[in-house]
Amino acid sequence: MDAMTARAHVFQPWATQEKEDSVPVIDRGEGCYFWDSEGRRYLDLLAQIFNVNLGYGNRRVIEAIQSQAGRLSALNPTLTSAPRIRLGELLAEVTPGDLNKAFLTNSGSEANEMAFQMARMVTGRQKILARYRSYHGTTIGTFSVGGDPRRLRSEPGVPGTVRFFDPYCYRCDYGLTFPACDLHCMRKVEQIVQFEGPESVAAIVVEPVTGANGCIVPPDGYMQGLREICDRYGILLIADEVIDGFGRTGKWFAVDHWGVVPDILVLAKGITSGYVPLGAAVVRPPIADYFERQYLPLGCTYTGHPIACAAAVAAISEYRDRDLPARAATMGGYLMAGLRTLQETHPSVGDVRGLGLLACLELVKDRTTREPLVPWNSSDPLPGRIKRRLLDRGLLAYVRWNMLFLSPPLIISETEIDEGLAVIDEVLGEVEAGKV
């Protein structure tokens, strides 16, 4: 389908409409592959958009959706249903520590909105500390918190955000090196809290492993350090695991790598394996107790939608019964090894990083100077062309500025990873030869 027809009546997200190339019309999927309406097959190394953790065609989730749609397909949110109750129990079981009560939403953006609002209500404080390289959603509230440059067009936004630098060791904002740095970037957060006035800070929010802003994996001690700062000053720690959650990083939740329990865990995407929209903000008892006595003014028409809850119960049961977080850890090791081999032969690969099945290649013009292939937030068309070249070769990945992200379904096999790496190998060769 040509680009004009595709966008005649529907906006393309994250796009200057007239600059968009034609996009394939996707028709069906099975396992780690999907097909367009012309019968072309694509290997999905991105789980669509970091969400289809079970791949396509999972019978258990599909049948749960079908059966729930036949039984009860809509419900007033002030009533409840068996899938909603079961989902609450399951989330309490799989999330770490004493996180035990969920507020259900339709998306990750909404779940973060609820988390930020609850944090303000419970603490009676206004400010939220967030990192520059972060994305927490596309609503005015979440745009105002996340540091992702997509926010810039909607500024000034909602007041009260204070941002800090990330644990980005490949390009340390303080020019330091781990471990000699003694986690300087984490320690700076305490100074910022003091300068801002701890009594004004409601929450610190982080993606424990950063998603679309660089797949930044914090060094050991970083998340524990943030937890301690929050405890010292009565600040709530919010972990946005919209991408990281449900096995993506090789554990159920990324915070599990460091034994940290946030006060609010924000979830979406993998919660239903992307089959239907759902998000959740899961909280610890002090927050739950607060709303036992105080009115909870938050809600929406589709809070706890029965079909979404049924899909989530099925998806989470699949992760658990098939131990997919452990599989993501094993296959993640295989993927990282393959990416490191690519780095050996491709001078354009500056850094390889990731955790579990969330990985990123950082592309550079020169490995010694680390000059990025295209600068941060650049409108250079090259990343779009690389993404397109990969798609034309039958591979879905995400290319943003100088970063190439991979986040395949957790069911991916070694053969499928090899197939994907062969395409990336070819396309990186073309990038280096100036042919893209």
Ligand X SMILES: Cc1ncc(COP(=O)(O)O)c(C=O)c1O
Which contacts of 380-385 are long-range, i.e. CB under 8 A and separated by 24 or more positions? 382/431, 382/436, 384/21, 385/436
Select 283 or 427, whichever has its Cβ closest to ligand X: 283
Select 68 or 109, whichever has its Cβ closest to ligand X: 109
Minimum CB separation from ligand X for residue 108, in Å?
2
Backbone Cα Rg of the chain: 21
Select 211 or 306, whichever has its Cβ closest to ligand X: 211
**Shortest-Cβ-distance residue relative to ligand X:** 108
Minimum CB separation from ligand X for residue 254, in Å?
11
Residues that bind ligand X (CB under 6 A): 107-109, 112, 135-137, 207, 211-212, 240, 242-243, 268
Minimum CB separation from ligand X for residue 155, in Å?
18
Q: What is the DSSP string of 338-377?
A: HHHHHHHH-TTEEEEEEETTEEEEEEEEETTTTEESS-TT
Minimum CB separation from ligand X for residue 150, in Å?
11
Q: Is residue 66 within 8 Å of residue 315, measured between CB atoms?
A: no
Helix (H, G, I), strand (E, B) or coil at 31: strand
Helix (H, G, I), strand (E, B) or coil at 58: coil
If one counts every other C-beta atom within 10 angstroms of the C-beta of residue 41, the result is 10
Select 136 or 327, whichever has its Cβ closest to ligand X: 136
Q: What is the DSSP string of 62-113?
A: HHHHHHHHHH-----TTS--HHHHHHHHHHHHHSSTT--EEEEESSHHHHHH
Select 212 or 276, whichever has its Cβ closest to ligand X: 212
Residue whose C-alpha is closest to residue 133's, from 218, 75, 246, 26: 218
Minimum CB separation from ligand X for residue 369, in Å?
30
Minimum CB separation from ligand X for residue 101, in Å?
20
Helix (H, G, I), strand (E, B) or coil at 263: coil
Select 203 or 243, whichever has its Cβ closest to ligand X: 243
